[in-house]
Chain A
């Protein structure tokens, strides 16, 4: 372990780093610090003369040399991972002193944890804190902060079931299960250095992070009151240390990730697809589309068939053309032209240090990510300074300033060229589309209108009306975001035991989102054409030829002001009280200004046309749409959230063995409404811990550390978007009437209450002698009351089909286990780190009428409360095979085989549904093995997810016909009697029947076990003096999975994050 430690803190090796700190020339204290077990020098050990503030560090050879004014001194030597020692010295020394330190791995655990209000030594904590220190945090190479917690923390699950291969991949993080029934509000609260962080988490540079602490139970989190119900993540930034010479650290990494694996998406073969199109055409399925005056787009096959039908084309020639298309797969075009290997660069550096009275830290970082979809980029620049100053013995000031700038691009709405984003008027792209021809010319695909129409409309008087996806792929939405945050803390020691502190935080955000539709782009050309009338052989353009610009600006400011008194008193050497009480006021405001679109915009000259008639409902070319006014709509919004809180926290330690702790908090906010503020009872928690191993009678020497903990308490969960009164939303002007109007989107709900979470946590911390084995086990109960749910609402009420109401009580149970073992010591060091979690939330009570059972069958993505059942269950219709006569699916109704699809779909009672299990893993965790030989370190993390289910993608004929969304199992469908022996895929019906599709798709046969084990990541590091070089590979794939279909349950069988490999180095100079 010590080698790991050395590997982490790269202390300096200059021989004279201490001169600057010498205050007074006197005797020299010099010598060497070595490891008592190996005899190797200890690098970076801290030396201090007792009663003196100044401290000194050993160099890489373990040497120290510093002045001391006294003739005799007690030298205190400490180092993480070693037991501290005190050595009495008589000066001057006759010879350099040789000091050996005994390794004490329990010392590694002795860390302070930050709650955002105070830092607490872990041994005095009663609650459930999980700290990810700098080394573990920096093990992974990522752009964001939260991703680095994946696979290295217990009780946390990164839900990637909604992963979108075209977007910046953010996973939904849950800590100890969901505490809310609305997935949109399940995010944990993020605290960045003392105050909640309200900005975009992507703006936090992970290189500025010193540690992250998860607050998992009530005793840990309830200090954050009404927003802590989903768990709290406290991010602590790096700071300089007192008495530490200047240290420079620079690190850089490049990451390459593959293109999304589009071939994982199961589609019907192109030839099958064309056959279905021909069949549908023959059935007259497209007649309504063909007859539409709006010239709705047709696929090339349908277009050809129509030409044959109207006698314009020879049927043989058409078939030949169609047959040529049977071998195409448009995904290849996408992979070749609109995706690339993602390439991320990260650079960060900092300088830190400090004297006896002053510390500093200056840091900067730059990230430049070229994402896989060519239109997507992400750049981030961060700068940060932090200073601490001991103004007097009693007064200490701390100031930090943080600046972040983000510049990113994403596809334009409607102009996106990712696979799955292009649509043909509500349908997915047909598989035989081609984006480019053999000569490299970009090809057009139908989008809003029929190709044969746009090719000829206007007789040359209109702008080119073709949509060529590859021409559009570099158009994008540009988002810029800037953030400045200043933190100021003052603390004043009133009495030796009492400190008063004031903290102030101010944050400013400004951002812009810019969507430029260039004149040459399809969007602008289409718009101009729509507003063109051909009169007497001339094109009359209501809208000028040119581009269009849509811009929005946002601004946010926030402050937090906190006053706090903190007491810390020991007496009789056995009693120790730490207490704090404080008040806090916070405000966060955001403004958003969506500007009206600018037409005729020229990006070169920054000019646009302003004298456009926005009031008339103009005719649309050829009556393709109803007369429509040109949109001139913009919108403004302003949000203000204010909180006032009163809180306190105290702990009493007796004889270093018994700790009692308690906390309370009361919040009031302008989002609650007056009645809620009055009713809101304080949230509180209490806890106990007992260091069993310090009892005089404790005699189990093999286990020198045993600590028991228990806590109980409450936290809450509020959602600013839910209100008890009627809420109107105002809109500036209706496109039809031009009049400002308002809609009522929530009805008055005077009984609304806020969610309350009660947690009971039991923990045991253990360490064996020499810490060969150490770890902790926690068992918790998490009861939530008055859970808000988006529950079905009687549509007669008039506020839509759902409403957010207090709907349920749930009971969560779980176990978090952490076990660290040192398996090998010697030339090869090998340690293992096991993180295992179990979590299950069950619904105890549901206040509202039980919804129709049809909402329970499905993907399990939503949370569907059924009393006594897991919170996100997967249910299915019972399956009875295929009808041997015609391949119809057979379901079950009232215990009998049935083809009454409508009633199976709509009216199967809950008791008759097949229950599979939870849609989220009940058991999950990771095992990390770390090896070190000389300067080479290898770390391999394997994660697992057990006991859950997912619904595999399957074939839906209605979706196939209506929107061209197919599935590869189409080729295995029932086609003739006897096929029911080999397949479960129903025969192809016409017309399609949505209930029949649902009975098959939601049948029990389509639910698979999600259990799998994946190679989470691998890190290889090599250390050479001040430089550490590392490689990090992640998303390496699945080692084992329970389902036999090779589907990745993490993304429900859809493409997941591609493999990525990073290479980087860290340089430390002192």
Chain B
């Protein structure tokens, strides 16, 4: 009977008995520590950006043999015939959006104050940054290019404000998508710290940089230039490429000093063992330009491949983060567009001095560089190779008429072309699974 009483006693303490956590490592987010650790998850937050744009741009080419070795989805994408998109290209960044939302919801629910280790503001800023970065990259491939006249009606991406799986969702317009990105980033700028331990964590400079990139894409060159300048005030390190080993397989170490924010896109077509660098791009580098050897490697067949990712990783993932060089170029472009050509050239000379063999670089002047904007854009392409940025540039420059003709793919006898006027209107198919389960408008 005594034991029986024990059972009864045990049951009366039932509530407490059953409150124990089933899995210690599985936890509902209940502390700031939990939230910070979500922010630290670089696989979700910093990796897996879709490289569809890079794969469609004019820097990456395939030989017929290498094209033939791809599956048909990739083969079709390469020849501008996007029939279907693999689910991961869409879903991977929505994982980052979901994690960001969990952090933002968690911060609302938790009363725990900031401490020495976990800072609520940094975390909120970080979550907003990651969400904005995911949205920004998605809107570059799954929606048409930003155009003031159509942005209010063209479908953009799906914006998620909560993490629950039963939230009804629709595609926002392009204008709403960009507005959400800008709102997140502007708030993030005021929250993020100026210094972070490693550049996978968002910093204030990273938020300014991404704002600059967003405005540049929208062709709002005023704010684009200003935010680039703000970012440069916090991080303007340019390292001398003469200090790097041009023969190395991977010349840039992970978290290279010029990296403001570290992230990667996933690609099959543009993976470094397969893709061939457009010879036209290659021809643009001067003999004394160190980037020619630091960025590219000659294949046995005479073609060149890319090796210059800023994170020391080559293969199916390619660095698409933010570096000081991008800010110099954006700032210079915005200055040139505003008519401040000398200031633009000063920026350019400062950048290129670090890229050429010591003492060989002859500064550009108004005298030897009549069209400063064209010069800046040319250099922009050469510096920001394989960063996913070429696609964004192609879209806005094609819209402005600064790029004409077609992007062409030659496969044996067949030539496929994407006319420049079509470039701003390319929007990739949203994966079938999302359309089917979410009921979104397909592109």
- From B19, B63, B101, B433, A670 is in contact (CB under 8 Å) with B19
Are A796 and B438 in contact, CB atoms less than 8 angstroms apart?
yes
Measured CB to CB, the closest approach of chain B to A986, in angstroms, equals 15
Which residues of A have CB within 8 Å of B83?
902
Are A799 and B4 in contact, CB atoms less than 8 angstroms apart?
no
On whether A742 and B34 interact (CB within 8 A), knowing A720-B22, A751-B166, A796-B158, the answer reads yes
Contacts of A792-833 to chain B: CB distance below 8 A: 792-801, 803, 805
Question: Given A627-B312, A737-B42, list of 12 further CB < 8 A pairs?
Answer: A285-B65, A561-B7, A585-B17, A623-B250, A641-B22, A668-B18, A728-B27, A794-B433, A798-B98, A852-B432, A906-B432, A958-B71
Which residues of A have CB within 8 Å of B163?
726, 744, 747-748, 798
Is A497 interfacial (CB 8 A cutoff)? no
Chain A, Cβ-Cβ closest to B314 = A626
5 A/B residue pairs, CB under 8 Å, sorted by A: A640-B24, A728-B27, A730-B27, A751-B166, A798-B94
Q: Which 9 interchain pairs have the tightest Cβ spacing?
A: A284-B65, A798-B98, A623-B249, A795-B91, A794-B437, A742-B37, A563-B4, A502-B3, A741-B40
Which residues of B have CB within 8 Å of A69?
none
Are B40 and A734 in contact, CB atoms less than 8 angstroms apart?
yes
Measured CB to CB, the closest approach of chain B to A995, in angstroms, equals 6
Is B38 interfacial (CB 8 A cutoff)? yes
Is A303 interfacial (CB 8 A cutoff)? no
Are B99 and A798 in contact, CB atoms less than 8 angstroms apart?
yes
Is B223 interfacial (CB 8 A cutoff)? no
Are A668 and B273 in contact, CB atoms less than 8 angstroms apart?
no
Contacts of B421-437 to chain A: CB distance below 8 A: 431-434, 436-437
Which residues of B have CB within 8 Å of A794?
169, 433-434, 437-438
| B278-286, B299-307, B352-360, B382-390 - the one binding chain A | B299-307
Interface residues of B (CB under 8 A from A): 1, 3-4, 6-8, 10-11, 14, 17-29, 34, 37-38, 40-44, 63-72, 75, 83-84, 87, 90-91, 94-99, 101-102, 158, 160, 163-167, 169, 198, 200, 248-250, 253-254, 273-274, 297, 299-301, 305, 307, 311-315, 431-434, 436-440
Among B27, B69, B71, B75, residue most surrounded by chain A Cβ atoms (within 10 Å)? B69
Is A739 interfacial (CB 8 A cutoff)? yes
Which residues of B have CB within 8 Å of A798?
91, 94-99, 101, 160, 163
On whether A637 and B24 interact (CB within 8 A), knowing A585-B17, A796-B169, A852-B432, the answer reads yes
- From B10, B21, B300, B437, A291 is in contact (CB under 8 Å) with B300
Q: How far is the CA of A626 from the CA of B253 in the complex (A)?
A: 9
Is A453 interfacial (CB 8 A cutoff)? no
Q: How far is the CA of A689 from the CA of B101 in the complex (A)?
A: 58
Is A639 interfacial (CB 8 A cutoff)? yes
- From A500, A626, A748, A902, B312 is in contact (CB under 8 Å) with A626
Chain A, Cβ-Cβ closest to B64 = A284
Measured CB to CB, the closest approach of chain A to B299, in angstroms, equals 5
Interface residues of A (CB under 8 A from B): 283-294, 490, 492, 500, 502, 504, 561-563, 583-585, 617, 622-623, 626-627, 635-642, 644, 646, 668-671, 677, 720, 723, 725-730, 734, 736-737, 739-744, 747-751, 792-801, 803, 805, 849, 851-852, 902, 906, 958, 990-991, 993-995
Which residues of B have CB within 8 Å of A636?
24-25
Measured CB to CB, the closest approach of chain B to A449, in angstroms, equals 14
- From B22, B29, B41, B315, A639 is in contact (CB under 8 Å) with B22
On whether A727 and B437 interact (CB within 8 A), knowing A798-B94, A906-B84, the answer reads no
Which residues of A have CB within 8 Å of B248?
623
On whether A293 and B433 interact (CB within 8 A), knowing A561-B6, A561-B7, A797-B165, the answer reads no
Q: How far is the CA of A669 from the CA of B21 in the complex (A)?
A: 11
Are A795 and B431 in contact, CB atoms less than 8 angstroms apart?
yes
Q: How far is the CA of A626 from the CA of B254 in the complex (A)?
A: 9
Are A639 and B23 in contact, CB atoms less than 8 angstroms apart?
yes
Which residues of A have CB within 8 Å of B84?
902, 906
Are A795 and B433 in contact, CB atoms less than 8 angstroms apart?
yes
Measured CB to CB, the closest approach of chain B to A441, in angstroms, equals 33
Q: How far is the CA of A697 from the CA of B72 in the complex (A)?
A: 78
- From A289, A727, A906, B27 is in contact (CB under 8 Å) with A727
Which residues of B have CB within 8 Å of A747?
98, 163-165
Which residues of B have CB within 8 Å of A623?
248-250
Which residues of A have CB within 8 Å of B70?
991
Q: How far is the CA of A4 from the CA of B349 in the complex (A)?
A: 101
Are A561 and B40 in contact, CB atoms less than 8 angstroms apart?
no
Which residues of A have CB within 8 Å of B14?
644, 668
On whether A642 and B18 interact (CB within 8 A), knowing A490-B3, A794-B438, A796-B94, the answer reads yes
Q: How far is the CA of A654 from the CA of B94 in the complex (A)?
A: 65
Interface of A is mostly: mixed
On whether A730 and B436 interact (CB within 8 A), knowing A283-B65, A500-B1, A798-B91, the answer reads no
Are A670 and B20 in contact, CB atoms less than 8 angstroms apart?
yes
Which residues of A have CB within 8 Å of B21?
640, 670
On whether A991 and B68 interact (CB within 8 A), knowing A726-B28, A730-B25, the answer reads yes
Are A728 and B95 in contact, CB atoms less than 8 angstroms apart?
no
Are A585 and B165 in contact, CB atoms less than 8 angstroms apart?
no
Which residues of B have CB within 8 Å of A995?
72
Chain B, Cβ-Cβ closest to A638 = B24
On whether A795 and B90 interact (CB within 8 A), knowing A292-B273, A502-B3, the answer reads yes
Measured CB to CB, the closest approach of chain A to B208, in angstroms, equals 23
Q: How far is the CA of A927 from the CA of B264 in the complex (A)?
A: 62
Are B69 and A744 in contact, CB atoms less than 8 angstroms apart?
no
- From A284, A583, A669, B66 is in contact (CB under 8 Å) with A284
Chain A, Cβ-Cβ closest to B19 = A670
- From A290, A627, A639, A902, B72 is in contact (CB under 8 Å) with A902
Which residues of A have CB within 8 Å of B315?
294, 626
- From A286, A492, A622, A805, B249 is in contact (CB under 8 Å) with A622
Which residues of A have CB within 8 Å of B95?
798-800
Among A293, A637, A740, A744, residue most surrounded by chain B Cβ atoms (within 10 Å)? A744
Q: How far is the CA of A69 from the CA of B333 in the complex (A)?
A: 118
Are A726 and B29 in contact, CB atoms less than 8 angstroms apart?
yes
On whether A796 and B254 interact (CB within 8 A), knowing A638-B23, A726-B163, A748-B163, the answer reads no
Are A743 and B41 in contact, CB atoms less than 8 angstroms apart?
yes
Are A748 and B164 in contact, CB atoms less than 8 angstroms apart?
yes
Measured CB to CB, the closest approach of chain A to B62, in angstroms, equals 9
Chain A, Cβ-Cβ closest to B103 = A744
Which residues of B have CB within 8 Å of A670?
17-22
Are A563 and B94 in contact, CB atoms less than 8 angstroms apart?
no
- From A284, A627, A728, B29 is in contact (CB under 8 Å) with A728
Chain A, Cβ-Cβ closest to B200 = A737
Q: How far is the CA of A796 from the CA of B69 in the complex (A)?
A: 30
Are A585 and B7 in contact, CB atoms less than 8 angstroms apart?
yes
Which residues of B have CB within 8 Å of A849?
436-437, 439
Q: How far is the CA of A747 from the CA of B25 in the complex (A)?
A: 16
On whether A795 and B3 interact (CB within 8 A), knowing A283-B65, A727-B27, A991-B75, the answer reads no
Are A792 and B433 in contact, CB atoms less than 8 angstroms apart?
yes
Are A562 and B200 in contact, CB atoms less than 8 angstroms apart?
no
Are B165 and A749 in contact, CB atoms less than 8 angstroms apart?
yes
- From B37, B63, B254, A627 is in contact (CB under 8 Å) with B254
Are A293 and B11 in contact, CB atoms less than 8 angstroms apart?
no
Q: How far is the CA of A456 from the CA of B297 in the complex (A)?
A: 23
Which residues of B have CB within 8 Å of A726?
28-29, 102, 163
Which residues of A have CB within 8 Å of B166?
749-751
Are A743 and B87 in contact, CB atoms less than 8 angstroms apart?
no
Measured CB to CB, the closest approach of chain A to B205, in angstroms, equals 19
Chain B, Cβ-Cβ closest to A803 = B165
Among B99, B253, B439, residue most surrounded by chain A Cβ atoms (within 10 Å)? B99
Which residues of A have CB within 8 Å of B438?
794, 796
Measured CB to CB, the closest approach of chain A to B105, in angstroms, equals 9
Are A990 and B253 in contact, CB atoms less than 8 angstroms apart?
no
Which residues of B have CB within 8 Å of A803?
165
Q: How far is the CA of A646 from the CA of B434 in the complex (A)?
A: 45
Chain B, Cβ-Cβ closest to A644 = B14
Measured CB to CB, the closest approach of chain A to B398, in angstroms, equals 29
